[in-house]
Amino acid sequence: MSYQNGHFIGGEWIAEGATFANHDPVTGAEIGRIHEAGRETVDRAVTAARRAQPGWAALPVAERAAWLRRLADGMEARFDDLVAAEVADTGKDAVQARTLDIPRGAANFRVFADIAAQRPDNAYHLPGTLSYTIRRPLGVVAVIVPWNLPFLLTTWKAGAALVAGNTIVIKPSELTPGSAAVLADIAAQVGLPAGVLNVVNGPGAGSAGEFLAGHPGVDGVTFTGESRTGSAIMRTVADGVKPISFELGGKNAGLIFADARLDAAVEGSVRSVFTNGGQVCLCTERLYVERPIYEEFARRLAKRAEELSREREPMPMISAGHREKVLSYYRLAASEGAEVLAGGGVPPWAESGYHVEPTVLTGLPQGSRVNQEEIFGPVCHIAPFDTEAEAVALANDSRYGLAATVWTRDLSRAHRVAAAVQAGLVWVNTWFLRDLRTPFGGLRLSGIGREGGVHSLDFYSEPSTVTIKLEDA
Ligand SMILES: NC(=O)C1=CN([C@@H]2O[C@H](COP(=O)(O)OP(=O)(O)OC[C@H]3O[C@@H](n4cnc5c(N)ncnc54)[C@H](O)[C@@H]3O)[C@@H](O)[C@H]2O)C=CC1
Ligand SMILES: O=C(O)/C=C/C=C(\O)C(=O)O
């Protein structure tokens, strides 16, 4: 597969700007060339979105919902193309792409179509008055997404923004432009009005991402990615005081109590640490295990990590640069005195591409950088605890607050710990099980705001309250 991607603006493909290379993370080979959007290209995309926005917002919500369903049908019709694009860009396993990433695109569009079409308006009565709320779209929304779950995250934001009446300019990661290009094709194929959905390509800082976030014609920014990038985007949009919705990094804890079903806790932790090469903001990087089962749990987790490596899983890191970042943490752990229970380097079979070994570390202090900084690779540190209070305190000892997992068969403890752990998402005896209507997002460095269900529709629209004094009869 080799392709050349331009930008999708006002319903047309435009190949302008210098090109840069896209690499296959499995082999490192060049698989495509991407045009980089400069300020003028970004301006054309925002102008197209602005031009299309009043007409799009004027459609009854039921009609916008119908467009989203047509787009979801289009995704299902082009399912294999989307899988191929996502696998080529990210190196992820085709089974995961077929069962998680790509089906979530259609689900993301359908859930917001259903919720928006059925949402009742709010009316409030005080004696002699009637107050009600009108919701208006923000206008043009910049959708800036990372490379780890490209299609899932693009559609998660695009579906809600569109059905709320916004037009959008998507800026995929420069490392994974493929599935957004197929989505643009689908928009053209189903006849979505020109300018409603636009795509510009290129890097972030000093390029397409920054030009887009800072463009005066952009009314709101939704972003998923690293916390530092979130800070940079906040600075870019500060002058315009634009609404932002940020899903940022995590340093997620998993708490395994001695009464947990051990098999389920081990396999669940294997998933939560190693899925997608650990490159999901929800992945667990810190495991705390109650002392009576600590040795057994650590031994079994390390054995599974070695098996995954022998089976040539998990997927590669997205780029040579990101592999180097993850390996630098492996080296840091060794220099900080960690005991390496599994992995710790590059798999012996990896001759090319960006693989690292699934890695289990132990023996580091809670305050070490490896226990405090987001690594975003297939790696966790594991430590014992003695009491529930200690487990909660360890989980909360982080500048992040995105997700946590709790493994126990004690229902009272599950509720107590879920309420005490400071994270936007807590899974009990499972991980990454998603009901798309629930609020999704994190505390502290993990983000600002929540998306999901009506929480998304609230972000992508502004309420105006109208209050009428009723005349006496
Ligand atoms: N927690 C999470 O969800 C994610 C965390 N990461 C972490 O972030 C590190 C850096 O990876 P990146 O791909 O560079 O993530 P990033 O957060 O920098 O990039 C995500 C998106 O933001 C854009 N972007 C970057 N700087 C921007 C700016 N100043 N203004 C506007 N848009 C901008 C990028 O082009 C991309 O589309 C990774 O090594 C990984 O550790 C990466 C992706 C997701
Ligand atoms: O919406 C989901 O189910 C998953 C979201 C994952 C991220 O935001 C991420 O990995 O960055």
Distance, CA of 223 to CA of 171 (rounded, Å): 10
Neighbours of 399 (CB within 10 A): 14
Those residues whose C-beta lies under 8 Å from the C-beta of residue 29, and which sit 6 or more positions away, are 23, 352
Residue where the block lists tokens 């005991």? 339
Q: What is the pLDDT of residue 74?
A: 98
Ligand 2 pocket member 357 (CB < 6 A): no
Q: Are the C-beta atoms of residues 8 and 143 closer than 8 Å to each other?
A: no
The C-alpha angle with vertex 316 and arms to 283 and 17, in degrees rounded to 5, equals 105
Ligand 1 pocket member 209 (CB < 6 A): yes
Q: Which residue, 103, 95, 114, is CA-closest to 78?
A: 103
CATH 3.40.50.2030, applies to 7-248+446-466: no
Ligand 2 pocket member 444 (CB < 6 A): no
Specify the DSSP class assigned to residue 312: T
Output the CA–CA distances (angstroms, integers) from residue 313 to 39, 182, 348, 399, in the order listed: 40, 27, 13, 30
Ligand 2 pocket member 281 (CB < 6 A): yes
Neighbours of 229 (CB within 10 A): 19
Q: What is the pLDDT of residue 125?
A: 79
Q: What is the pLDDT of residue 344?
A: 97
User: Given phi > 0 = left and psi -120 to 50 = alpha, else beta, which region is 195?
Assistant: left
Q: Are the C-beta atoms of residues 231 and 248 closer than 8 Å to each other?
A: no
Distance, CA of 346 to CA of 327 (rounded, Å): 8
* Percent of residues in the chain assigned helix, strand, coil, to nearest 5: 45, 25, 35
In this chain, the answer to whether the domains covering 7-248+446-466 and 252-428 adopt an identical fold is: no
Positions marked catalytic: 247
pLDDT under 50 in the chain at which residues?
A: none
Expressed in angstroms and rounded, the spacing between residue 221 Cα and the centre of ligand 1 is 14
Q: Kindly report the protein residue whose alpha carbon is nearest to atom 29 of ligand 1.
A: 205
Topology of the domain covering 252-428:
Aldehyde Dehydrogenase; Chain A, domain 2 (3.40.309)
The C-alpha angle with vertex 125 and arms to 124 and 129, in degrees rounded to 5, equals 120
Residue where the block lists tokens 């966790």? 380
- pLDDT (tens digit per residue) in 369-401: 999 999 999 999 999 999 999 999 999 999 999
Measured over all CA atoms, what is the biggest interatomic distance in the chain, rounded to whole angstroms? 86
**Nearest-atom index, ligand 2, CA of 440:** 1
Q: Which residue, 191, 180, 168, is CA-closest to 46?
A: 168
Q: What is the pLDDT of residue 2?
A: 66
Output the pTM of the full model. Answer: 0.96
The DSSP-derived string for 88-151 is HHH---HHHIIIIIHHHHHHHHHHHHHHHHHPPPPEEEETTEEEEEEEEE-SEEEEE--SSSHH
Q: Kindly report the protein residue whose alpha carbon is nearest to atom 11 of ligand 2.
A: 281
Those residues whose C-beta lies under 8 Å from the C-beta of residue 473, and which sit 6 or more positions away, are none
Those residues whose C-beta lies under 8 Å from the C-beta of residue 68, and which sit 6 or more positions away, are 109, 110, 112, 113, 159, 162, 163
Q: Are the C-beta atoms of residues 253 and 286 closer than 8 Å to each other?
A: yes
- pLDDT (tens digit per residue) in 334-369: 999 999 999 999 999 988 899 999 999 999 999 999
Order the strands of the 461-469 sheet from edge to edge: 123-126, 129-137, 461-469
Expressed in angstroms and rounded, the spacing between residue 281 Cα and the centre of ligand 2 is 6
Specify the DSSP class assigned to residue 246: E
ipTM value > 0.90: yes
Q: Which ligand is nearest to the Cα of residue 234, counting in written order?
A: 1
Radius of gyration of the chain (CA): 23
Q: Where are the domains of the chain?
A: 7-248+446-466, 252-428
Distance, CA of 256 to CA of 385 (rounded, Å): 9
**Nearest-atom index, ligand 2, CA of 104:** 3
Residue among 112, 175, 176, 282 to mutate when testing ligand 2 (max atoms within 8 A of CB): 282
3-state secondary structure 347-375: CCCCCCCCCCCCEEEECCCCCCHHHHCCC
Ligand 1 pocket member 144 (CB < 6 A): yes
Distance, CA of 397 to CA of 239 (rounded, Å): 34
